[in-house]
A and B are shown apart, each in its own frame.
Chain A
Amino acid sequence: MSVGLKEEEETDAQVTWEDQRNINMFSKLNIRLESIEEQYEAKKNEKEYLDDLTVELELADEDEPVKYRIGDAYVSLSLSDAQGRIESEQAQLTQELESFSNRINGIKTEMAKLKALLYGKFGKSINLEKD
């Protein structure tokens, strides 16, 4: 993605400090968006693993302890304890995912606003699209 003025068109639009700040903001939000989307994907995967695990554990033998990884070691837990831990982890992840997706939406709205503003002023002399 390149944010910047292209030389070919000779628009006489002057770049004001205000414009520059908008351009910077746009570029900053773009990077922030990428980073949050990456984290969101990672958390989503984790959540999916846990969901699979929940289904898997429903079939497990109740008297058989589960080896659960805590830190760097495996600990033998009763099935219900293990399920409890997974549940609380899932709840935590769901919350995190929600906060991530809220932030993603906020950034996207903000970027759309800036985009309209900048294209409105600079037209073809600016490129705000992903490569």
Chain B
Amino acid sequence: MMEVEGNPRGIPAAPFVDDVAKFVPDGDYEGTLRKFQEMISKYRFMETHLLQRKAGLESKAPEIKKTLEMVLFLKSKEDSDEPIATEFELSDTLWARASIPPTKTVNLWLGANVMLEYTLDEASELLSTKLKSALTTLEQVNEDLEFLKEQITTVEVNMARVYNDDVRRRRLEKDAGGSSA
């Protein structure tokens, strides 16, 4: 049996079965298979959890991107004399006109009922940082998911090999029994 360390986020690596006979203690094939099955369930559990996180991040990133886009647009109009003509959403099916004079600051919703005023530069910097960190986390989650998949594949191959070995052993036993009778 060969051990590898886990991945950077501490997901343990699956054991690899080098020699089936040595790996199955006292010929307990069923127990070994059950153990592998348990391992797979644990990996699947982690997988479900990570998939949820992934979905969350995948919706968060475009959200930040949209806000950043608007901030950059406001920034590009910062020194213009003309107000910006917009239509904005009041409710799902209701839009209103607004004319926005060139501005140097925006208020960003930080969550927890807090809104804070930022200069356009600060806002774009904050949003860029947030976007970058969301994308980095997303990448890590993807890495973790790939790693999990690899571990599941390893265990599946282990199971197939232990199972095959069991079949082979039974056949040999049967053949031996048949010839002695």
| Residue B18 is within 8 A (CB to CB) of chain A in the complex | yes
| Residue of A3, A67, A75 most packed against chain B (CB within 10 A) | A75
Q: Which A residue sits closest to B71, measured CB to CB? A: A71
Q: Does A72 contact B (CB under 8 A)?
A: yes
Is B146 within 8 A of A70, CB to CB? no
Chain B interface mostly: helix
Q: State whether B88 touches A73 (Cβ < 8 A).
A: yes
- Please indicate the chain A residues that have their CB under 8 angstroms from the CB of B154 in the complex: 20, 24
Q: What is B's interface to A at a CB cutoff of 8 Å?
A: 2, 16-18, 66-67, 69-70, 73, 84-89, 95, 142, 145-146, 149-150, 153-154, 156-157, 160-161, 163-164, 167-168
- A75 to chain B: which residues have CB within 8 Å? 73, 84-86
Nearest B residue to A2, CB-CB: B156
Contact between B146 and A4, CB atoms less than 8 A apart: no
A56–B153 alpha-carbon span in the complex (Å): 50
* Contact between chains at B157 and A23 (CB < 8 Å): yes
| Additional A-B contact list (16), CB under 8 Å, known A28-B149, A71-B67, A71-B70 | A4-B153, A5-B157, A10-B168, A15-B157, A15-B161, A16-B18, A17-B18, A20-B154, A20-B157, A23-B153, A24-B153, A70-B69, A72-B89, A73-B87, A73-B89, A75-B84
